[in-house]
Chains A and B, each alone.
Chain A
Amino acid sequence: MAPIIYVSIKLALKRYKRDWLFAMCFIFSVMALLVPLLTVMGLRDGIIGTLSERLISDPSNLEIVPEGVRDYDLAFFQNLENDPDVRFVIPNTRNFAFTLALGKPGYNTKRVAARSTKKGDPILDYVEPAVGNEEVGLFDIYPSKTVAEFFDAKPGDTLTVTVSRTLNGYLETQNLDLAVKGIIPLWALGDQDNSMMLANLQLLEKIERYFEDRPVPELGWPGNRMETYPARYQTFRLYASELDAVERLRVRFERGGLIVKTSAKEIANVKSLDSAFTVVFFTLLCVVGGGAFASAVSGSIDQVAKNRKSLACLNLLGMGKFHLQIFTSVQVTISGLIAAVGACGFYLVVAKILNEVFYGKMRDVAEVCRLSPEKLLISVGIVVIFMTLASFYANKSLSDIEPSEGMRDV
């Protein structure tokens, strides 16, 4: 069996070489259908893809900010951490307007908003230098670029936080050295205060305990209120796992009576644009797919009709119908492959022209037309498979070829 398939393919290639003019006509007709389709795919990926990436890459677009304060226990956060729609959640200290005095020798003191963080915080993905997915140490901080510039602080520097409380008319102060692990770029802050820093939640809770006149033995800070109570929180910082999850979470929170602020509107705009492009794309895909199929089928039928005598003679020489099918289909498959590769080449030219024409004319979109090499490769594969299937379908007309036709003449 195998050698006969080899012969079928070998004959098909030789036949193809001789019949290149017809093949070129077929190839160009398929390319004329494929190039516009690839261009629409490129525009969809270029415009929508860039906008979506921007939405995703800016963590503030995935952030869900609760408005006002409520009382949350640890179980609330444990539930959210197990929720597939939630990428990251962390409670804030009870006092949301939690500001601390930061200092450095030779610089004025600056009051900065302190927000809690821990391993997995999306904002930490963007700190400079990259910290990876490391645990946040108890005395690690990540100041914003504004704060870092104020102190000329670099990663590895030490900043001192001064914690003060007034007890019985006396001002008590504690100083704590904190290590700068990375700087947060301003664009990653979203709606957060520019003069802020991220610090370990446990550290902020210890500072809060000190404010409340409770002892913090780990840091050697005294306190008079000895009573303990379960941890409670008033707000939190939460990031959805994906753009679609933002709206789902918003609906769920609002059903639970919690009003939240999200970027759902911006996301909806991009989604709507995406849907419109998808409709255009699939409409074109149907038209082009139908056209390409018809083209491949008619091309194959024409091949069979024109080569009826040759096919009958090959059958006479002992090639079965299956091998004749391979013989004709290989030629259509090769044409499909050349057409697909050629269409990708033409598409790249068209994309380059479009990108140059529209460069800088669309906000937030650097390349209006782009397709990844993987997608181009998949497109080529689909076209080749599609063409082969079409030719197999068309080759049903081989079934009525009689080898006795080959006895007469070729």
Chain B
Amino acid sequence: MNEGIMTVRRIVKTRPGGSGYRLMVDKLVVREGDRIALVGQSGSGKSTLLDMMAMVLKPDRLGRGGEFTWNLDGVTLDVWNSWKRGGASAREKIRRSHLGYVLQSGGLFPFLNLRDNILLSAWLKKNPKGRRAESALMELAAKLNIGHLLRKLPGNVSVGERQRAAVARAIIHRPKLILADEPTASLDPPTAEKVMELLIELSEGTALVMSTHDEVRARKFGFEIHRIVVEDEGPRRGIKAMLFKDSRLPGKMPANIRNR
């Protein structure tokens, strides 16, 4: 059953590296215009979950009744089965066309100036020569106040300016969903505030899923909090971390999950 752009039910993933414990997502549905913040302690698996949502990391397994689907304009991609069938090109196409990314330190390419870094998303989505992308760039650059920096390389601008360019790159191709991995973690508070404001303003109507430690700011900007809870003493089958919507947060992991 598809309820939104992306639906994840009962997927399990062993976190790569670190403690290697398993993360379980019981239910996460992303609809158009949603603002979802993934919070949790460091190493809890926020980025792992973002990787899975971006379809760059394969879940280990689906629990009973589980699903992992993308629903785009009435067409459903069964992501879980696409991994089995080697549907790399379908996943790549969704990443090019319907996903935007804001990474912790911008994720800009050092060999491209800000203009090309921003336009890259538009090039990858459609016709690289499109003029519409150019006018969208100018509009975004003006709003983000980086118009005067477009010819500069990422290494020659401040961290805040880089992050604003990253926001522009995530938005310019009008994606359905923006994934932001701690987008303000490396910024000072005033800059972080400004970048968040711009991200919220410019991504109006687009779903935004963000991992963050800054729960206060996330609440301030209207994000629905989803928390990854890690138990010190895990249940039998190694599942120590689970994602819960904050409003449904239980005191402990439910016994039915623990014994699954």
Contacts and interface: CB of A to CB of B under 8 A. Distances in A.
B131 to A, nearest CB: 15
B56 A404 contact: yes
Contact of B50 (A4, A18, A407): A407
Contacts of B126: 3
A409 B123 contact: no
Secondary structure call for the B interface: mixed
A317 B95 contact: yes
25 contacts: A3-B128, A7-B120, A7-B123, A7-B128, A10-B123, A11-B109, A11-B112, A14-B112, A15-B111, A17-B111, A313-B107, A313-B109, A316-B54, A317-B124, A318-B92, A318-B96, A318-B99, A318-B124, A319-B96, A320-B92, A404-B56, A407-B54, A407-B103, A408-B181, A410-B108
A6 B126 CA distance: 11
B119 to A, nearest CB: 10
A94 B238 CA distance: 110
A402 B153 CA distance: 25
B127 interface: yes
Given A310-B109, A408-B47, A318 B95 contact: yes
Nearest to B127: A3
B106 interface: yes
Nearest to A410: B107
Contacts of B97: 318
A327 to B, nearest CB: 11
B111 A14 contact: yes
A410 B105 CA distance: 8
B56 A403 contact: yes
Contacts, number: 94
B140 to A, nearest CB: 17
Contacts of A320: 88-89, 92
A19 interface: yes
Contact of B93 (A17, A19, A318): A318
What 4 pairs across the A-B complex have the smallest Cβ distances?
A318-B96, A318-B95, A403-B56, A18-B111
Given A6-B128, A319-B92, 18 more contacts: A3-B123, A3-B126, A4-B124, A7-B128, A313-B107, A315-B56, A316-B56, A316-B101, A317-B121, A318-B95, A318-B99, A404-B54, A407-B50, A407-B103, A408-B103, A409-B103, A409-B105, A410-B105
Interface residues of A, number: 29
B124 A404 contact: no
Nearest to B169: A317
Interface in B127-150: 127-128
A318 B56 CA distance: 10
Contacts of B16: 404
Nearest to B154: A410
Contact of B116 (A14, A313, A410): A14
B123 A407 contact: no
Max chain B C-beta neighbours (<10 A), residue from A313, A314, A404, A406 = A404
B150 to A, nearest CB: 14
A318 B126 CA distance: 12
A314 B93 CA distance: 13
Interface string B80-107: 0000000011001111110101011111
A246 to B, nearest CB: 62
A319 B89 CA distance: 9
B51 interface: yes
A313 B50 CA distance: 14
Interface string A293-327: 00000000000000000100111111111000000
